[in-house]
Amino acid sequence: MKINYQIKKDQNYTFKDEVVRTTNINILLNRVRQKNKSESKKKIILSIFIIGILSLLSIIVFVN
């Protein structure tokens, strides 16, 4: 879409209306939620892994 503006002394200026890209806010919110879910899953898995290793080490130390 072109918009023509007529200014003093019959000077014509043309401004080209560029396409503006917009993103739906729901898409952005869903991305944030998915990122938070994946990060929380990683934290839970890491916590379980660390607790498992500590438990295994404590069993080895106290049994002997």
Q: Which residue has the higher pLDDT, 42 or 22?
A: 42
The CA-CA-CA angle for residues 16, 19, 22, to 5°, reads: 150
d(CA 52, CA 57): 9
What is the structure's pLDDT at 44?
A: 98
Domain ranges of the chain: 24-64
Q: Which residue has the higher pLDDT, 25 or 1?
A: 25
Indicate whether this model's pTM tops 0.75: no
Q: Summarize the confidence of residues 28-43 as an average pLDDT.
A: 94
What is the sign of the dihedral through the CA atoms of 31, 37, 38 and 40? positive
Adjacent-strand bridge partners of 22: none
3-state secondary structure of 3: strand
What is the structure's pLDDT at 26?
A: 84
